[in-house]
Structure 1
Amino acid sequence: MTFLSILCALLIEQLKPLRADNPIYGTVKLLAARMELWFNAGDAHHGKLGWFLVMAALMGPTALIYWLALRLSPFAALAWNILIVYLTLGFRHYSHYYSSIQLALNSGDDVSARVLLAEWTKQDTSAMESGEIARIAVEKALVTTHRNVFGVFFWFLMPVGPACAIMYRVAEYLARAWNEPEHMKNEAFGKFAARAFYWIDWIPARLTAIAFAIVGNFEDAIYAWRNFASRWQEEAVGIILAAGGGALGVRLGTPLQGAANVMPADPTSLESTDLESDAVPGEEPTARALQSAVGLVWRALLLWMLLLLLLSVAVWLG
């Protein structure tokens, strides 16, 4: 059932992609904003209470409906699974930005590529050259694909899979919404949300990095993972981008803030040789790297689906 649910949801999304600004996502954002407004009194434990209440409000009904559907019919449970996976996957939420940037760079239209990248990443791109545009687009795509696809896959495999998939996507959103906005950066309220997502994403991030290594340049991916992942403040992002860059054979990450809104662990403490591009395996990103990244993601997706199929067959035969 798990494999069929994911396969059907992926096929439906290819035919009818769910917009990133759909009403369901809007409801989750409104709930998160209301919880922050009601519970943020300046202490970290208020954020912890708000986090658990948001999760209970969303995971509880999802799990209950799944249990009722199982008792009603396997087909009802399958339909519910497909719906939840479709809602939690985001394989094509932002693909139009990526495809448009790729077309613009291939045609030499750096101006349009900068505008599209600025809309996508919400950062100033006015001074970026084509190589930096390509690098940031690839970084953003790899991190977004992990959080919108592969992380969801992992948690959907857990018991009460639909509720766990909801937990992963909502935890990722709360970690951003309660920490990244300017008025929340120095607040204690979002600390628990960030820490909770760190642990929730600990295994999925490493599985994604392993998948990139298997379907790409394995030796360079593992080398970059071991030696350069610490350049990012966010551990999971560092692992994904280091392994992804090594698998692609391109250099990702700079001492400056990147597309994934991450900074080096401590720019002042790094030796100059650590930041030299020739210390990192691979070439400087170009427009061709965007196409290579698409191929890497699709191969990793096929690897996940193959493993899910084998697991489903093993469970069915067992």
Structure 2
Amino acid sequence: MVAGLAIEAVVGWPEAVDKRIGHPIRWFGWLVERTERLGNRQSWSRSARIATGGFVALFVVALAGWIGLGIQLFLPAGWLGLALMALIASSLIAARSLHDHVADVSEAFDAAGIATARYSLSRIVGRATVDLDEPAIARAAIESLAENTSDGVTAPLFWGALFGLPGLFAYKAINTLDSMIGHRSARYEAFGKVAARLDDLANLIPARLTGILFALCAGSGRAIQVMFRDAGRHRSPNAGWPESAMAGALGIRLSGPRTYGETTSNEPWLNSGARDPSGADIRHALELYRRVVIAIAFILALLGWADLT
């Protein structure tokens, strides 16, 4: 997992490879889309759609885990097998891609102005961005960075370190299911219920570890205080931990009301009473994020060394 993280951080997912074979996440997405079309019948009862969605979710996760296991068993022993496993693992870790997408928003403020910042933000969040001012753009970018540090970095490495490629593949299948069908909309509320609960369960430990790492890497007792006080206020049982820790570490407020399409969600503030963030705070959040990724790599390397000895 350390080698996979290093490869992704340095190289990312090469564009030439993406054009030739696509990306594993899109493969999962294709499978979820096809099974959802077949199984999510609006004419069925709510309980039938929950059961069918649960079967689809478990099938996709089990299939992903078995594929990961098959690949792992097929790999040769020794350094070649390790290198190939690291290369495969790197495709399911998002340390560099997350950093670069959020950095695009930060750089847009400096180089091109708020309109370009809104556009860059629209590529990484689901909320409406067309009317957002600078504090709202900065808030959304920092929230996305904090939450996805858990979903895209800590959690894949956590499950990969525990169970190898089967754990990594299964987790990314769960995460993809949640992002595609785990919504509280009329279409997905029933069908995606099991997928959403699986995602909550899979991220339970990684989200809290991420929050703790944000606080420790910031050297901020305030971040610890805000995290334990405000994490439970978030609508997600997990996202509130890294987001509230980030808010406390930077001395800003996050969350609050936001708009998704035509729907306004009146979320409570995290670190209420603190100032609104600015474009400069995105850079500070990215600096903290880089320290956290390095800390994760160090911890995994230390655990691996302890296991070898």
- Structure 1 and Structure 2 fold alike (TM over 0.5): yes
Is 1:295–2:287 an aligned residue pair? Answer: yes
Pick one of 108, 113, 118 that aligns with 1:109.
Answer: 113
The whole-number CA distance in structure 2 between the counterparts of 1:17 and 1:211 is: 34
Deviations 1:29-84 (A, max 9, x none): 11101111223344212112111211222221220221232xx4123431332122
Structure 1 residues 127 and 7: alpha-carbon distance in aligned structure 2, compared to 1, 3 A threshold:
closer
In structure 1, the residue matched to 2:300 is 308
How far apart, in 1, do the equivalents of 2:84 and 2:159 lie? 16
Cα shift at 1:207: 0.4
CA contact 1:213–1:243 (8 Å) conserved in 2: yes
Q: Which of 76, 81, 95 does residue 77 from structure 1 map onto? A: 81
User: 19-28 vs 245-254, which deviates more?
Assistant: 19-28
- Does the CA-based 8 Å contact 1:143-1:240 persist in structure 2? yes
TM-score calculated relative to the size of structure 1: 0.84
Matched letter for residue 135 of structure 1: R
**8 Å contact kept, 1:209–1:239:** yes
Amino acid corresponding to residue 295 of structure 1 in structure 2 = E
CA distance in 1, matches of 2:15, 2:304: 26
Distance apart, 1:184 and its partner CA: 2.4
Residue 62, structure 1, aligned to residue 61, structure 2 = no
**Aligned partners of 1:45, 1:25: CA distance in 2, in Å?**
25
Superposition deviation, residue 155 in structure 1: 0.8
2:29 is matched with 29
Cα 1:17–1:255, aligned 2, differ >3 Å: closer, same or farther?
A: farther
> Partner residue of 1:221?
223
Q: Aligned pair in 2 of structure 1 residues 47, 27: CA closer, same or farther (>3 Å)?
A: same
Alpha-carbon distance in structure 1 between the residues aligned to 2:27 and 2:111:
39
Counterpart residue number, 1:12: 11
The one of 141, 148, 151 equivalent to 1:137 is: 141
Matched-pair contact (CA < 8 Å) for 1:17–1:92: no
Q: How far did 1:129 drift?
A: 1.3
Partner of 1:88: 92
The answer to whether the Cα contact below 8 Å between 1:5 and 1:78 also exists between their aligned partners in 2 is: no
Compared CA separation, residues 148 and 38, structure 1 to 2 (3 A): same
**What is the rounded CA distance, in whole Å, between the counterparts of 2:234 and 2:120 in structure 1?**
25
Alignment of 1:196-235 (within 5 A): 196-235=198-237
Tell me which moved more, 216-225 or 132-141. 216-225
SS in 1 for 2:255: coil
Identical-residue share of aligned pairs (%): 23
1:145-294 alignment to 2 at 5 Å? 145-159=149-163, 161-180=164-183, 182=185, 184-186=187-189, 188-257=190-259, 263=265, 280=272, 282-294=274-286
Shift in Å at residue 197 of structure 1? Answer: 1.0
Greater alpha carbon shift after TM alignment, 194-203 vs 174-183:
174-183
| C-alpha distance after superposition, 1:242-265 (max 9, x if no partner) | 01111222211113358xx99566
**How many residue pairs get matched?**
300
Root-mean-square deviation (CA), in Å? 2.8
Partner of 1:272: none
Q: Which ranges in structure 2 are unaligned for 5 or more consecutive residues?
A: none
Q: Distance in 2 between matches of 1:16 and 1:302?
A: 25
Q: State which drifts further: 13-22 or 217-226.
A: 13-22
Contact 2:251 2:275 in 1 (8 A): yes
One-letter code aligned to 2:12: E
C-alpha separation in 1, matches of 2:101 and 2:12 = 17
